[in-house]
Structure 1
Amino acid sequence: MAVPSAVMTALGAWRLDRDGVWGDEGVTLQMAHRTLPEIAHLVAHIDAVHGVYYALMHFVLAPHPGEVLLRLPSVFGAALSAGLVGLLGARLARPRVGLWAGLLYAVTPFVGRYAQEGRSYALVAAGVLAATAVLLSAVRAGTRQRWLLYALLVSATAWLHELSVLVLAAHACTLLCARASWGVWRAWLAVAGCVVLALLPLVQLSRGQSAQVAWLGEPGPDQVRGLVHSFAGPADGVCAVVLTLVAVGACTRLPRRGPVSLRAVALPLAVVPPTVLLGVSQFQPLYYDRYLLYCLAGVPLLAAAGAERVVRLVPGARGPRGAAARVLLGAGGAALVAVAFAAQLPEHRHERGPRARPDDLRGIAVLAARELRPGDTVLFLPSPGARRAAAAYPADFARADDVALARSGREAGELYDAETPPATLTHRLRTVRRVWVVVDSRALRPGWTPAGRTERAKLEVLRRHFVPREEHTSRSGVLRLYERRPAR
């Protein structure tokens, strides 16, 4: 529907041009500087789960890599998702249910966050919702073309992020609730089997890269509560109202407009993939709330269904003479969504503010562009953390000599450049009179100690042979100028 899409587009465009990217966005941005063979080389070693997204963003960012262009695909994905939520509500119930659901989806801060982030999650949500809409059409019409389109959408979305394949479990529950015929089940099982087979190469590749998610822990009650607030709204009042309407919607049988009910679509979508991922993560931690953004759509659909149940109790709202009342009720529901947005406006502002993300790689890159001169020596402490800004904004560091560089990440098929052994680094620094040191913010924390021999060698050489002369601060770290101690 047009109205939810327009609202989502406006919210997505709000402060989209804010400066700087954070760590994960920086990885996407640096992929724009690599060729497709280099991206393929990378995903053979690391980040296979994002390989298709990186290839897509390579073309998107080809004209001019920058923050706005980096985030535009996510704005598009979120706007499309809001429209698809509205379409599902209208098809499964009635137009005003679709309007309310789409608007509620658009004003949810969790959606707004990933509508403005240069990662794949908003596009994944759009793919899942498009596949869900096509599934309903395939169940109704049963043509090969629609089942084929459904298979292509689910497969493409799963290759964009493999955990979105859990939507198949939600769709299976939808068919169970709808009491689908054996003919529908046979077609769906064939499609699901093909999707799983098509995804196996990515699953096999990403399993060998499981160390990437080794930092994830077993989710507990805190993560469940956080997910509920992400889906229903961070403001306690909004969350309570939305969950109440969700409960009403989950217990309500609205008149069907086809073989599948709204409840049969929305409830499995909101519940089944999170339950599966939370359960699996008790044994193999894989849970992160952003991986389940596509499931959020079930919550506004159920909330809108609950609101429709309440509305149908209003005298005159159901009969043919209640057209004016229906228009007023539709507008009233939209006004209540606007109230929910106003209650969560501080959260929206925070998401678009300078402190919303853990770091700002652009800040340190701006300092480097301003202070570094051609031929200056630069050292990153520690690596790879301090190298993230240079990887995202290489032009700002291009004039300096990277004294510790052994091999570029492009050549090695890694995200970041590899560094020399301690002895080689110490030898190179013997003739250096002054060196700029990029210090990552993590290394500025009390009690930080270097983890590797090369990092310890950097600190030892700086302590023994150099003295600090200047320091320029950013949120992601500092840029320090060291000069060699005078000879005694």
Structure 2
Amino acid sequence: MAAVPAGVMLLLGLWGLDRGTMWRDEGATFQVARRSLPEIGHLLGSIDAVHGLYYLLMHPVLALRADETALRLPSVAAAAATAALVAVIGSRLARPRVGLWAGLLYAVTPFVSHYAQEGRSYALVAAGAALATWLLIRAAENDSPYGRWAAYAAVVAVTALLHEFAVLLLAAHAVTLLASRVPWRVLGRWGCAAAGVCVVLAPLVVVSRRQGEQVSWIRTPGYEQAEALLYAFAGPGEAVVTVTVLLAVVALLVPLPRTERLGLNAVALPLAVVPPVLLYAASQRQPLFLDRYLLFSLAGVPLLAAAGAERLLGFLPWRRVVTAAGVTAVAVAFVTQLPFHERERLPAGRGDELARVAAVVGRVAQHGDAVLFLPLHERRTALAYPRDFSGLRDLTLGQSPAASGTLFGEEVGAEELAARMRRLPARQRVWVVADTTTVGTPWFRAQRAEAAKVRVLRDGGWREESVVFVRGGAVSLYVRR
């Protein structure tokens, strides 16, 4: 049964995998994971420590083949594994067709497809959480050997090192064990495993707290963010959300009989609810609430929906017909939400299109031209697509990203930039690559270094002669008056 959801997820993950462009977060993975191991270690001391293990895992992958397809394939494989694990959990806690329905529902959820096709760690974190939940079910059996608890602790630790908010999985599992009224010896063994995870994770927590500035842009969540997470987990189509929620309510009101020490509801409901609630509450003081940080919790929703469907259809005597009816319902949900899946596979499905900006530069710039990035982070375009910037002189770069241990490099000050521009030939062309979502905003005006670059252009007698706009960016030609 597990092979079917895994196969469906694999097909959906491979469909349109190469969108022809990376977005900014994928660009960070692409350029950091291709650095040497000492250079990656240098970077993690100052920024992005929370993604450090993921960068290390992607290092050998991109060493074999450095392109967008290879960048995303690990996420596709992880999503397929998660769909299979959801099916296995449902089969063990209920019956095989419940697992089949839950695994398929997980696979056809657009939110899952989104991160199955993204070169970031979230799909791998979801796979680790599903595996840890499966190991918890097995370890909670009577007199389970300590080896099972050690395996559980190891998987949770690796999952949390991939992204530290996955440690909230421990809270969900604690609620599962308490709700299931397991013996104290089981709670004690789980407590030892959880303590070991926290010890392993503690250094990452300390380092990442010092790097908190990189998530300072996240806003305090409200009702809109909570509603959006519900639609991401259970939809996002209105009809699909309604049916999924109703089925989950049925599962909770009329629970399936236990087949294991841990009941399906006791596993699925805390997994779906506890991590989001805890992160939402914590974010009222320090905003950290993003839906992608909680992808690992989604697996609880299809398990509840499948259990509700079993309660409604399970009394029918025709087993194969009932199984086929459930599969048909999932297929209808997929067709209903097909526009959402198609949108995810468009180049603009992630918010910005680095390849389009780079392609403009490659088309209009000539060897020997100069380039200036506004703001600093727009250098990500050149780092993701260096071929389009070949032969161009970076006017503001003082030290490369790898050498400086940063994502985008260190830039020279205004005086050095002005001196460099004064030394340019009279007919020198300068291309300004700008992020139109930030240039001109209050944030941009508050950045003294960025304002200084604009001032040097203006005071040095440079004028904008032409500009090409693309989604999220602009490429402008500047010449000396």
Q: For this structure pair, what is the TM-score category when the shorter chain's length is used for normalisation?
A: over 0.9
Residue type matched to 1:25 in 2? E
Structure 2 residue 335 is the aligned partner of structure 1 residue 337 = no
Corresponding residue to 1:438 among 424, 430, 433: 433
Corresponding residue to 2:389 among 397, 413, 428: 397
Structure 2 residue 362 is the aligned partner of structure 1 residue 362 = no
User: Structure 1 unaligned runs (5+)?
Assistant: 318-324
Aligned residues: 475
Corresponding residue to 2:471 among 468, 475, 480: 475
* Partners of 2:110 and 2:69 in 1: CA distance: 19
* Partners of 2:44 and 2:442 in 1: CA distance: 35
Superposition TM-score, scaled by structure 2 size: 0.95
Corresponding residue to 1:275 among 265, 274, 277: 277
* Partners of 1:413 and 1:352 in 2: CA distance: 33
Q: Which residue of 2 aligns with 1:161?
A: 163
Displacement of 1:414 in angstroms is 1.1
Q: For 1:60-103, what per-residue CA distance to the aligned partner results, in whole angstroms no more than 9, with x for missing partners?
A: 11122211111111111111111100010001000000010001
Q: For 1:91-122, what per-residue CA distance to the aligned partner results, in whole angstroms no more than 9, with x for missing partners?
A: 10000000100011111111111111111011
Maintained 8 Å contact 1:178/1:259: yes
Q: Which residue of 2 aligns with 1:296?
A: 298
Maintained 8 Å contact 1:363/1:476: no
Structure 2 residue 272 is the aligned partner of structure 1 residue 287 = no
Computed over aligned residues only, the root mean square deviation of the Cα atoms, in angstroms, reads 1.7
Q: For 1:374-423, what per-residue CA distance to the aligned partner results, in whole angstroms no more than 9, with x for missing partners?
A: 32211112222x21201222333232111111111212211111111111
* Partners of 1:455 and 1:260 in 2: CA distance: 56
Structure 2 residue 385 is the aligned partner of structure 1 residue 387 = no
Q: Which residue of 1 aligns with 2:46?
A: 45
* Partners of 1:347 and 1:151 in 2: CA distance: 37
Structure 2 residue 421 is the aligned partner of structure 1 residue 429 = yes
* Partners of 1:405 and 1:445 in 2: CA distance: 22
* Partners of 1:335 and 1:450 in 2: CA distance: 55
* Partners of 2:375 and 2:282 in 1: CA distance: 34
Displacement of 1:183 in angstroms is 2.0
Residue type matched to 2:343 in 1? H
Q: For 1:8-45, what per-residue CA distance to the aligned partner results, in whole angstroms no more than 9, with x for missing partners?
A: 11111110011111111111111133111111111111
* Partners of 1:313 and 1:449 in 2: CA distance: 63
* Partners of 2:364 and 2:445 in 1: CA distance: 26
Displacement of 1:178 in angstroms is 1.8
SS at match of 1:415: coil
Residue type matched to 2:171 in 1? A
SS at match of 1:140: coil
* Partners of 1:66 and 1:327 in 2: CA distance: 44
Q: Which residue of 2 aligns with 1:320?
A: none
Superposition TM-score, scaled by structure 1 size: 0.94
SS at match of 2:376: coil
* Partners of 1:131 and 1:61 in 2: CA distance: 27
* Structure 1 residues 45-84: aligned runs within 5 Å: 45-84=46-85
Label 1:399 to 1:134 Cα distance change in 2 as closer, same or farther (>3 A): same
Q: Which residue of 2 aligns with 1:322?
A: none
Q: For 1:332-391, what per-residue CA distance to the aligned partner results, in whole angstroms no more than 9, with x for missing partners?
A: 10000011111111111111113322111111122233333332211112222x212012
Displacement of 1:208 in angstroms is 0.8
Label 1:294 to 1:454 Cα distance change in 2 as closer, same or farther (>3 A): closer
User: Structure 2 unaligned runs (5+)?
Assistant: none
Q: After the TM superposition, which of the residue ranges 120-129 and 245-254 deviates more from structure 2?
A: 245-254
Q: Which residue of 1 aligns with 2:252?
A: 250
SS at match of 1:355: helix
Q: Which residue of 2 aligns with 1:375?
A: 368
Q: After the TM superposition, which of the residue ranges 451-460 and 112-121 deviates more from structure 2?
A: 451-460
Percent identity of paired positions between Structure 1 and Structure 2: 51
* Partners of 1:191 and 1:88 in 2: CA distance: 21
Q: Which residue of 1 aligns with 2:15?
A: 14
* Partners of 1:285 and 1:435 in 2: CA distance: 40
* Partners of 1:376 and 1:480 in 2: CA distance: 13
Maintained 8 Å contact 2:417/2:456: no
Corresponding residue to 1:148 among 140, 147, 150: 150
* Partners of 1:237 and 1:12 in 2: CA distance: 24
Q: Which residue of 1 aligns with 2:111?
A: 110
* Partners of 1:219 and 1:456 in 2: CA distance: 31
Q: Which residue of 1 aligns with 2:134?
A: 133
Residue type matched to 2:165 in 1? L
